Amino acid sequence: MQVLVTGSNGLIGSEAVLHYCELGADVTGIDNNMRAIFFGRDGDTRWNQSRLEREAQGFRHVELDIRDRAGVLGLLERNSYDLIIHCAAQPSHDLAARMPFEDFDVNAGGTLNLLEGLRRHQQSAVFILMSTNKVYGDSPNELDLVEQETRWEYADPRQHHGIDERCRIDQTTHSLFGASKTAADVMAQEYGRYFGLKVGVFRGGCLTGPQHSGVELHGFLSYLVKTAMTGNTYKIFGYKGKQVRDNIHCRDVLRAIHRFYEAPRAGEVYNLGGGRANSCSLLEAAALVEELGGGRLKTEYVDQARRGDHICYISDLRKMMSHYPGWKIEIGLREILTEMIDAWKHRPGLSH
């Protein structure tokens, strides 16, 4: 089996490399450590690349920027792949506003380069786009919510399972990041539907795991754990810290990807987060980190929410589970945080 992973130094990308190498596949990873350019030293992912080169038998790293159209098309022309997992992205709302050209060129343009390479040279391959729930913009905030002691919650019991794939993606405030990811999302769907290619679009909630290089502008749980354990101060932006996110471990993401690979569809879209069971507010996450031995989080409240930020977002997973019976969330929130706390304790440079 031949697998291509973009963003292979990152959270989902590196998990994909390990997953398929363990299955005996030959895996090519594309990454150019652009996260360090976006986020500085704390966003550097070379440590993860080195780990993969040591531990992942069958892995080959390719230093390539997905904005390099000739480079991407050439790679796809010269090689044959069974599965392409596209994880590379500029992931920050705030950075997108400061770097709009870089954001759009990476998220939309880079995705188009890969999709056109798929159409020209890899039509039998399965293509996975790691999209985001930010394609919905702030439309989830239009739902009636009730304020509880530690979180915001949906007022209508019919909304218990959360946001499904029918949620509106236009006439809403996305942030420039959300807009560039929406462009990539819709383009991937179109390559699947228009050209009949095997394309799956996974709209992630909070994707997480121990190898996440979390920073203030991206990586909710990872950055929260890191901040608690280093004794630094965590800024809470609005909503009283009661904003809700659902968190999914990268291994559960890879199980979903593999199920799609085994029975692909043309241009299908799935919400993929932790669901209700793995949902928590910022306040609840901080309390759980302290309970699990990760330290007490020092906070500073900023009475201004990030524009377009979700107040309460829980992924409705029923479509994915109905199309792929047997897939479900297997790693709970407590296990996720325990694993992350342990990983931070053993990560080089923790004291910094």
Can you tell me the distance from the alpha carbon of 250 to that of 13, in angstroms, rounded to the nearest whole number?
9
Residues pairing with 2 in the sheet: 26
Reported as type and span, the H/E element at residue 74 is helix 69-78
Find where tokens 């909503």 sit.
239
**Chain position carrying tokens 């991937």:** 188
| Strand 83-86 versus strand 2-6 pairing type | parallel
Q: Kindly list the structural domains of the chain, giving each domain's residue range(s) and its CATH number in brackets, ordered by start.
A: 2-345 (3.40.50.720)
Q: Token pair for residue 75?
A: 């790679």
Which amino acid appears at position 74 of this protein?
G
Phi-psi region of 313 (alpha: psi -120 to 50; beta: other; left: phi over 0): beta
Count other Cβ atoms within 10 Å, centred on residue 337: 23
Residue 63: burial class (beta carbons within 10 Å; 0-12, 13-18, 19+): exposed
- Contact by Cβ (8 Å): 9, 91: no
Per-residue pLDDT of the chain (352 residues; tens, 9 = 90+): 999 999 999 999 999 999 999 999 999 999 998 887 887 887 788 988 999 999 999 999 999 999 999 999 999 999 999 999 999 999 888 889 999 999 999 999 999 999 999 999 999 999 999 999 999 999 999 999 999 999 999 999 999 999 999 999 999 999 999 999 999 999 999 999 999 999 999 999 899 988 765 555 556 788 899 899 989 999 999 999 999 999 999 999 999 999 999 999 999 999 999 999 999 999 999 999 999 999 999 999 999 888 878 999 999 999 999 999 999 999 999 999 999 999 888 765 544 3
DSSP, res 236: E
